[in-house]
Structure formats: structure tokens, C-alpha cells
């Protein structure tokens, strides 16, 4: 019996490493991680709604993102978390500048001080983009302003 249990654990571990957990997002959804109080946050939100009918807003001032979610965002951006921080911010100079952090340390900075981000983050179709300029969101192009398919029994004839 212990032998079967060991194999089961081994198989689950293999499945987990081969298929890591990913953020479950609808293909037509545009996710926006931002601070809605800033001017760039307000502009990004308006532009996001012009690109997609389905915008999932995550206000990082009221919603605490998990470390796992931050790791996935950093992976989708294809960037080092250190490069996501606004180095000209006074908070950055107080809290981060001059210190050496590991990857885990930078994840803790993102987790506890998301206001240090260079700009809002937009996620769609498994890709993420950090928008230092509000018009950077236009690099994504129109994604989902396609009218939804109507069911046959709802079509007027």
C-alpha cells in the first residue's frame, strides 16, 4: 500500500511541474491592474474600455494581489521584477535604492508596495504589457469589440 501512495504522489508532482497553474482568464477579457486615482490610471481605463467590452479592473490600492499572481504577471511580461519599479519615485529611493534583493524580495515589494510600479499593467490573451504612457495600451490593438453571437431562437425573423 505505501508503494502505491508514493507513486500517486510522484505522478501528481509530475503533472504539477508539467502543467503549472495559470491565471484563468476569458480569451475576450482584458485585465487591468492599476491605481484608479492617478491620471494615467483613469486614461488607461478609458482606453481599455474602447478596446474591449470585457474589462476586469483590479485596483491594487484596495485589492491585495497574491505572490502567485505577481509571479505570473512578471512571467507574462517577460521581465525582471526589478525593472517594473519606478526608480524616480521618492518611495523607491527610500525603500529600495541601495539595497540588494532576491527575486523573492522583489515579489514582496510588489506585494506590499504596488504603487512603486512604473505604470498600469494590462493583461490579455496570455500576454501582459506595462503602460508607462497611457497610449501604450493601443499596442494591443482591438481585441473584443466583436458583437456576441446570437442564439438562433433569439433572432428576429
Whole-angstrom Cα distance, residue 128 to residue 121? Answer: 7
Q: Please give the CATH topology (third level) of the domain spanning 28-141.
A: Glutaredoxin (3.40.30)
Residue 25 contacts residue 37 (beta carbons within 8 Å): no
Per-residue pLDDT of the chain (157 residues; tens, 9 = 90+): 333 333 333 333 332 223 344 566 677 789 999 999 999 999 999 999 988 889 999 999 999 999 999 999 999 999 889 999 999 999 999 989 999 999 999 999 999 999 999 999 999 888 899 999 999 998 876 554 444 444 555 556 6
| Domain residue limits, the chain | 28-141
Predicted TM-score of the model (pTM): 0.73
Amino acid at each position: 500500500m505505501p508503494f502505491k501512495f508514493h507513486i500517486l504522489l510522484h505522478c501528481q508532482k509530475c503533472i504539477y511541474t508539467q502543467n503549472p497553474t495559470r491565471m484563468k482568464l476569458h480569451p475576450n477579457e482584458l485585465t487591468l491592474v492599476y491605481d484608479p486615482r492617478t491620471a494615467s490610471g483613469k486614461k488607461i481605463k478609458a482606453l481599455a474600455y474602447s478596446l474591449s467590452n470585457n474589462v476586469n479592473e483590479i485596483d491594487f490600492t484596495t485589492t491585495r494581489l497574491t505572490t502567485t499572481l505577481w509571479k505570473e504577471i512578471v512571467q507574462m511580461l517577460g521581465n525582471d521584477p526589478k525593472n517594473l519599479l519606478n526608480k524616480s519615485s521618492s518611495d523607491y529611493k527610500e525603500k529600495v535604492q541601495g539595497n540588494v534583493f532576491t527575486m523573492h524580495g522583489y515579489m514582496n515589494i510588489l506585494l506590499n508596495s504596488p504603487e512603486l510600479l512604473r505604470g498600469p499593467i494590462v493583461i490579455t490573451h496570455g500576454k501582459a504589457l506595462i503602460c508607462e504612457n497611457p497610449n501604450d495600451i493601443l499596442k494591443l490593438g482591438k481585441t473584443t469589440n466583436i458583437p456576441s453571437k446570437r442564439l438562433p431562437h433569439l433572432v428576429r425573423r
